[in-house]
Structure 1
């Protein structure tokens, strides 16, 4: 037997990707429905070879449904996730609303699969921020071996992390650079994103960091180890899909780069492409559509006693959002919701 699954926000980038991945991974679905806001009512979305027409989220009854994958913003999640949870449907939420709630598990299945067992407190499981998800997949096996003290990360995040309007803005601004009179003023971003980089993701906090940077700190501590110190600089770059990160790691114990490479090669969810030659590394355009988190440029940091540097790339719509949510559903099914 399979599960009755709801995808909330099915017309957005992440919602559509959730449907794709559920089909690709042959998640055991007995029945599936796609929900969207009233303005998108009736929009058709694909689930494998099947076409689904979206239904109205506002009037949907979650009673009798097993799992709801939420791919809407925090405002809508705040209204509808508690309704689904109260109806007995387990919510896997991609927004930031519940990530820091101590009664809601924050899960990356390759890192802390056992945490799903805490879902019963609120019938909700949180999906981490896209930039955090790929980084902790790389950090956890190294932490298990040599204990991480501190992480310094700089991110290079694609515009798809901001949604469809951001993708359109990059596309139109890029065309506008080459066509006089067709320049496009920034609306999604504070400055032009085409042929530019913007060191500003989410709102600024009192200490000068942005909320995106704070998320990476708080979520890494919750998922991996509260003792790890993290400092982040998050940057939006003119790439359509795929987040990249330059990660510097300081350990309690010495970890040789060759051993680190071997550890990562054996770790779940990771693909190591690390040759010291032209093109011997992965760039974001090469990771699009792939399930893996790619690691390259593994090397010692000679400026500290026990340090490594690495380059981390992943499809943010997949591992950073939709894939991780589906993996949570798979873990939940295997551990807690066994049927048949």
Structure 2
């Protein structure tokens, strides 16, 4: 016996990844539905590598009554309309958009970090998935915070174009090809050329000079991990198709050496420590694609503060940063509350 699961936004990058991961992890499913906008209605999409093809259903006419879980990867505009509808019809919504993350009565969950918070889902029947850059960061921070209590975090991100959707990936490909043949590389999706370049700007600018992406990392980390943690972020778009990287500097209240941090991270859930301190003894975005782990490398002491370390953090943003985390939330929900599979 399994769950009736709807994937909303099934034809997008994250929606397709959700379907793939549900199949890959053998999530207990009695029935699966692929749901998307009217323009995708009637098209066929594969359910992972099972060979089973799903006919895409129109979100405007989909009835969530009797469905157990809806994984939303449809963006904030569609989610604002259809997530409350699904929730009111008794279907638990796990939403990948930013719409509900900071709502006080909606849990914001990374299962390795704050699983107990999921119990609050009954207030709205909605659970929020964090921002991609936040998800991998808090997985890395959690075991270190438990060991030595984090005071302050300074993070610089190197975020792939897939974080901006299919349009972002297409723009990097097209600009790269055009540059090689001498054609124009005018930006459309991004504010400046992304091919062979980096852009220190993700999402809109706020009054204090930070961007909304940077603000998300601050407030989401506080909500998921600890409101006392001080965090500053600089979020940068880089010409990488998939995989977000982060250079993280952490200051602690208590003493924690790099060696001790390595031991802690080696045993922590969801983390793979690859830190050989030699040529190639670290993980890059290309190597993490298709994997669910958060990879940690370059762990070292920071001599500029009394108790501090620096590290390098890499993860597949379409997986742990989005689709995988959503499926892990569904698995946690099943174990703690729905109990069908």
TM-score normalised to the size of structure 1?
0.99
- Check conservation: 1:11, 1:43, Cα contact below 8 A: no
Deviation at 1:61, TM superposition (A): 0.3
d(CA) in 2 for partners of 1:100, 1:311 = 27
Match of 1:15 in 2: 15
* Structure 1 residue ranges (4+ consecutive) displaced by more than 4 angstroms after TM superposition: none
Match of 1:244 in 2: 245
RMSD: 0.6
- Check conservation: 1:201, 1:236, Cα contact below 8 A: yes
Q: Secondary structure at the match of 2:338?
A: coil
Match of 1:207 in 2: 208
Match of 2:282 in 1: 281
Match of 1:227 in 2: 228
- Check conservation: 1:9, 1:36, Cα contact below 8 A: yes
Q: For 1:23-61, what per-residue CA distance to the aligned partner results, in whole angstroms no more than 9, with x for missing partners?
A: 000000000000010011122211122111100000100
Return 5+ residue gaps in structure 1 as ranges: none
- Check conservation: 1:105, 1:118, Cα contact below 8 A: yes
Q: Secondary structure at the match of 1:150?
A: strand
Return 5+ residue gaps in structure 2 as ranges: none
Once the two structures are superposed, the pairs formed by residues 283-298 of structure 1 within 5 Å of their partners are 283-298=284-299
Deviation at 1:301, TM superposition (A): 0.2
Match of 1:149 in 2: 151
Match of 2:192 in 1: 191
Q: How many residue pairs get matched?
A: 339
d(CA) in 2 for partners of 1:324, 1:49 = 24
d(CA) in 2 for partners of 1:45, 1:275 = 42
Match of 2:69 in 1: 67
Match of 1:4 in 2: 4
- Check conservation: 1:150, 1:250, Cα contact below 8 A: yes
Is it true that 1:91 corresponds to 2:85 in the alignment? no
Once the two structures are superposed, the pairs formed by residues 248-267 of structure 1 within 5 Å of their partners are 248-267=249-268
Deviation at 1:184, TM superposition (A): 2.9
Deviation at 1:183, TM superposition (A): 1.7
Deviation at 1:281, TM superposition (A): 0.1
TM-score normalised to the size of structure 2?
0.99
Match of 2:324 in 1: 323
Match of 1:27 in 2: 27
d(CA) in 2 for partners of 1:339, 1:4 = 10
Q: Secondary structure at the match of 1:68?
A: strand
